Amino acid sequence: QVQLQESGPGLVKPSGTLSLTCAVSGGSISSDSWWSWVRQPPGKGLEWIGEIYHSGSINYNPSLKSRVSISLDKSKNQFSLNLSSVTAADTAVYYCARGLYGAKTFDLWGQGTLVTVSS
């Protein structure tokens, strides 16, 4: 079955750029699904960051739009997140997730990766 796995640095310096990748296994990233990033600060709730479709269509959370970039690599069957100008407020567990067909909710999640912003 399809599985998602996040990877990337666990520590990023303030004002730097957070970069994560989500590898899709057991299925194709070119399937009829949107692919999203969601984050969760320690002990807090969930925040949707943005999504990408294999055609290249992208949507971002308006509150993060100026700092976020999501891209997709079909050859590697993965998609990526870049978040620039990070501060301690960006410390969170970052999840990649698959969109449920026909609804902007999420039926498959990666295990999540903790990214800490600290000097």
11/13 Cα distance (integer angstroms): 7
Q: Which is nearer to other proteins, 15 or 114 (CB)?
A: 114
- Copy the structure tokens of residue 93: 């567990």
Q: Binding string to other proteins for residues 44 to 83, with x set by CB under 8 A, is what?
A: -xxxx----------x-xxx--------------------
Q: Binding string to other proteins for residues 20 to 49, with x set by CB under 8 A, is what?
A: -------------------------xxxx-
Distance of closest approach, residue 96 Cβ to other proteins, in angstroms: 10
The stretch near other proteins (CB under 8 A) out of 10-18, 24-32, 70-78, 96-104 is 96-104
66/87 Cα distance (integer angstroms): 14
- CA 51 distance to own-chain centroid: 8
State the residue for tokens 């997730």. 97
Q: Quick one: 57 exposed, middle or buried, by C-beta within 10 A (0-12, 13-18, 19+)?
A: exposed
Q: Which residues bind other proteins (CB under 8 A)?
A: 45-48, 59, 61-63, 95, 97, 100, 103-107, 109-112
